[in-house]
């Protein structure tokens, strides 16, 4: 059975602008874990983080028609979230925040999106379709992001002077193999080599610890129920602006039709009794 096609974020944005509730719920499911995770690190209070995340979601979806490209949505949402956090007096995270949160929060926003999509259960090929980009780009973002996180939490490969020994597995290939994203033949060969090479075996072990830590961290946020049950309407100002534009267009159309279809204006003559008739009429 052919798996269901995964819609891109751009397609979901377009559907949402037409009032599609299913598309709205799908986008919320993609965005919410990352937003709440980010907000939680600033307050270390889940209820407060979810309240901030809900306000962010409502603002983002109220402004959705402004967005034209898939890559804007996650970056735009994090930008709105940062504004909400500053309004609450939370411009930076406290000292006691976990080091893993700091590493994930410090990722470039596009890499962060790819990491969250993968650990929310979307294979990298699906994430690439969601983002409307080549799979090779998504894999590169994913491995670079995990290498950054590994360095921050002390699970990076130790520095090695010079090139790797022959047949040793590259760092990005280690992460793809552990993620189950390597081509089957190459992945099996890399695993076989790691079983015989103590250095590569240790690298695979560190990568598996990294994956377990990130999966547990993101999974806890992805498992929470959706914050927004219904698609929010446009902001009040946008509503009034829309009404004003409609009324202005209707008035312009009325005046245009009146000019085209109404009687032509011309000179008139006033009669002795006070009546007015067109000039030249008997």
Q: Averaged over 266-273, what is the pLDDT? A: 56
Q: Which is more confident, 218 or 267?
A: 218
Clarify whether residues 215 and 238 are in a common domain.
Answer: no
Between 87 and 238, the higher pLDDT residue: 87
Give the pLDDT score at 164.
Answer: 73
What domain range includes position 181?
9-232
Q: 248 with 221, same domain? A: no
> 130 and 89, same structural domain?
yes
* Tally of domains within the chain: 2
- Phi-psi category of residue 107: left, alpha or beta, with phi > 0 → left and psi -120 to 50 → alpha: beta
In-domain check, residue 273: no
Q: Within this chain, do residues 199 and 250 fall inside the same structural domain, yes or no?
A: no
Statement to judge: residues 100 and 209 lie in one domain: yes
Question: Is residue 278 in a domain?
Answer: no
Residue 242 reports pLDDT greater than 90: no
Q: What pLDDT score was predicted for residue 71?
A: 62
Q: Is the pLDDT of residue 263 over 50?
A: yes
Position 20 in a domain: yes
With CA atoms as reference, report the closest residue to 138 among 275, 8, 49.
8
In a domain, 127, yes or no: yes
Where are the extended beta strands (E) located within 89-205?
A: none
What pLDDT does residue 269 have? Answer: 55
Q: Determine the average pLDDT of the residues in 186-193.
A: 94
Are residues 148 and 196 both part of a single domain? yes
Same domain? For 238 and 140 the reply is no
pLDDT at residue 251, rounded to an integer: 73
pLDDT of residue 257: 66
Residue 62 included in any domain: yes
Is the same domain home to 16 and 132? yes
- Indicate if 152 and 258 belong to the same structural domain: no
Does one domain contain both 169 and 181? yes
Q: Does any domain span residue 80?
A: yes
Q: What is the pLDDT of residue 160?
A: 60
For residue 124, being part of any structural domain is answered with yes
Distance in angstroms (rounded) separating the CA atoms of residues 158 and 178: 18
Question: CA–CA separation, 256 vs 250, rounded Å?
Answer: 10
Same domain, 191 and 101: yes
pLDDT tens per residue across span 109-137: 999 999 999 999 999 999 999 999 999 99
- Residue 255 within any structural domain of the chain: yes
Alpha-helical (H) ranges within 157-272 are 171-179, 184-196, 198-222, 236-261
**Residue 249 pLDDT > 80:** no
Q: Quick one: 64 and 123 in the same domain?
A: yes
Tell me the pLDDT band of 238, cut-offs 50, 70 and 90: very low
Confidence label for 159 from pLDDT (cuts 50, 70 and 90): low
């Amino acid at each position: 059975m052919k798996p269901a096609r995964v819609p891109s974020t751009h397609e979901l944005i377009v559907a949402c602008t037409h009032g599609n509730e299913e598309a709205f719920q799908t986008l919320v499911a993609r965005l919410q874990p990352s937003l709440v995770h980010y907000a939680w690190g600033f307050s270390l209070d889940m209820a407060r983080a979810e309240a901030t995340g809900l306000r962010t979601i409502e603002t983002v979806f109220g402004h959705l028609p402004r967005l034209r490209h898939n890559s804007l949505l996650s970056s735009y949402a994090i930008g709105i979230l940062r504004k909400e956090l500053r309004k609450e007096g939370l411009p930076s995270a406290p000292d006691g925040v976990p080091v893993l949160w700091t590493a994930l929060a410090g990722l470039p926003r596009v890499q962060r999106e790819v990491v969250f999509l993968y650990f929310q259960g979307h294979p990298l090929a699906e994430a690439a379709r969601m983002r409307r980009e080549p799979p090779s780009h998504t894999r590169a973002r994913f491995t670079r992001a995990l290498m950054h996180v590994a360095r921050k939490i002390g699970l990076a490969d130790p520095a090695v002077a010079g090139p790797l020994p022959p047949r040793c597995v590259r760092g990005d290939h280690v992460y793809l193999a552990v993620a189950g994203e390597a081509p089957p033949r190459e992945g099996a060969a890399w695993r076989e080599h790691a079983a015989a090479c103590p250095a590569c075996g240790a690298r695979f072990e560190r990568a598996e610890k990294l994956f377990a830590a990130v999966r547990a961290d993101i999974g806890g946020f992805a498992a929470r129920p959706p914050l927004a049950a219904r698609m929010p309407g446009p902001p009040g100002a946008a509503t009034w602006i829309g009404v004003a534009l409609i009324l202005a267009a209707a008035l312009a159309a009325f005046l245009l039709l009146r000019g085209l279809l109404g009687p032509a204006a011309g000179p008139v003559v006033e009669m002795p009794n006070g009546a007015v008739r067109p000039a030249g009429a008997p």
